[in-house]
């Protein structure tokens, strides 16, 4: 039978309608399946070493919301009143006071605060055979060379001291934190030694957001919210990387739920961001009237303005560390909230602190010092100004 043009059009319309209906049904099915999966996560017994500092409370909140049972082990000195009533708290100290961990079992242990390999060793001697998996929160500072943007297989920093198992936090601080990365690398190795095939090692970059006591990101929302002319470092296209502590915490719990092991870099955002884009994004989020006076790296060195500490987030001559490869983590579902949310929430958290805490930021330039550097920049005539 010969099909008329009208018949062909009608048939095509019917096909499109049926296809759309089927696609909609499939999409709905996928949505319901995902929702069902979210609501049927197997409840886990999770031990968190630390848990009351920066990311720990976010891990706890998210884990409880997904039906897990949480125990924390710490000294009971940092924000103890903030612990939800559902959380079991064990009191002790990583420096030899671990008795509270004995005689108990958990599905997984998340080790947040460890810098010293002795801490992993001592905990492992008690927890081996008592936890199904061990999650060690490390750092991208473990890499020997960050100039080219390391992936998880890059060589690690070497410890050059006498006995790493006799190291103390006080000695590490006295070294200017030069041993921080090497000691973290040895702590990773200790994790793998005691929990072979049962360890998950997560290497975050700069962790930011509410509860960050270092102010290494918070400086920028606070300064930009104040408005006026803001000293900005380097070139606007210089890359920056950071991760909101809430995104890190929630992804860690999801990785635990999936039973993942291995090593993952964890920083962000998903797509490359320049320092200019970061500052513009913060300005937009806060509806600020700030303008940016850009000073190149050489000028900042002359003024003894240092990357990372005086100009937080910006890595200066070590921009390679802001190219850390996160493809493995992205493939495993690492997601990021918006820069605007992180900026607004960081500022709100800081403004809620006591006045003496707000009086002095722990990173960045003081207003007086920034004014001096801006005056020198104007005098030299070397700045690039952006609204």
The whole-number average pLDDT for the span 293-306 is: 96
Task: Read off the pLDDT band of 382 (50, 70, 90).
Answer: low
Instruction: Please name the residue ranges forming H helices in the chain.
Output: 5-39, 56-65, 117-127, 169-174, 180-194, 219-226, 245-258, 275-286, 297-302, 327-331, 339-351, 355-358, 367-380
- Integer Cα distance of 331 and 149 in angstroms: 18
Q: For residue range 193-236, what is the model confidence (pLDDT) as tens digits? A: 999 999 999 999 999 999 999 999 999 999 999 999 999 999 99
Give the pairing of strands 384-386 and 291-295. antiparallel
The whole-number average pLDDT for the span 25-34 is: 42
* pLDDT given at position 356: 95
Asked if pLDDT for residue 26 goes beyond 80, the answer is no
- Integer Cα distance of 248 and 261 in angstroms: 16
Q: DSSP letter at 258?
A: H
- CB contact at 8 A, 183 and 164: yes
* pLDDT given at position 386: 61
**HEC string for 120-171:** HHHHHHHHCCCEEEEEEECCHHHECCCCCCCCCCCCECCCCCCCHHHCCHHH
As a whole number, the mean pLDDT across the chain is 90
28-42, 143-157, 354-368: which has the minimum mean pLDDT? 28-42
* pLDDT given at position 22: 41
């Amino acid at each position: 039978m010969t099909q008329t043009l009208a018949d062909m059009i009608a048939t095509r319309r019917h096909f499109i309608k049926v296809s759309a209906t089927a696609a909609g049904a499939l999409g709905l099915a996928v949505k319901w399946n995902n929702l069902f999966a979210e609501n049927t996560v197997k409840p886990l017994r999770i031990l968190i070493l630390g848990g009351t500092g920066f990311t720990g409370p976010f891990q706890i909140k998210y884990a409880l919301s997904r039906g897990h049972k949480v125990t924390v082990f710490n000294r009971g000195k940092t924000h103890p009143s903030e612990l939800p009533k559902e959380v079991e708290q064990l009191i002790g100290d990583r420096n030899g006071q671990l008795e509270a961990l004995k005689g108990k079992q958990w599905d997984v242990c998340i080790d947040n605060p460890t810098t010293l390999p002795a801490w992993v060793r001592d905990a492992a001697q008690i927890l081996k055979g008592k936890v199904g998996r061990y999650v060690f929160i490390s750092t991208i500072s473990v890499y020997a060379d960050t100039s080219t943007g390391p992936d998880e297989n890059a060589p690690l920093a070497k410890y050059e001291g006498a006995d790493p198992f006799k190291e103390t936090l006080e000695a590490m601080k006295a070294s200017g934190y030069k041993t921080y990365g090497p000691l973290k690398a040895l702590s990773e190795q200790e994790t793998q030694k005691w929990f072979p095939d049962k360890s998950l090692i997560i290497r975050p970059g700069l962790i930011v957001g509410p509860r960050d006591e270092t102010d290494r990101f918070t400086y920028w929302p606070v300064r930009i919210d104040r408005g006026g002319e803001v000293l900005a470092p380097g070139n606007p296209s210089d890359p920056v990387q950071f991760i909101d502590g809430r995104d890190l915490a929630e992804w860690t719990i999801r990785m635990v739920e999936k039973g993942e092991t291995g090593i993952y870099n964890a920083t962000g955002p998903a797509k490359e961001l320049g320092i200019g884009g970061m500052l513009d994004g913060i300005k937009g989020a806060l509806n600020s009237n700030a303008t940016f006076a850009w000073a190149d790296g050489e000028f900042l060195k002359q003024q003894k303005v240092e990357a990372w500490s005086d100009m937080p987030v910006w890595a200066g001559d070590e921009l390679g560390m802001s190219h850390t490869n996160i493809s493995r983590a992205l493939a495993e579902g690492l997601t990021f909230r918006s820069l605007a949310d992180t900026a607004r929430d960081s500022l709100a958290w800081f403004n809620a602190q006591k006045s003496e805490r707000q009086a002095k930021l722990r990173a960045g330039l003081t207003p007086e010092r920034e004014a001096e550097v801006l005056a020198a920049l104007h005098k030299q005539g070397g700045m690039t100004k952006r609204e």
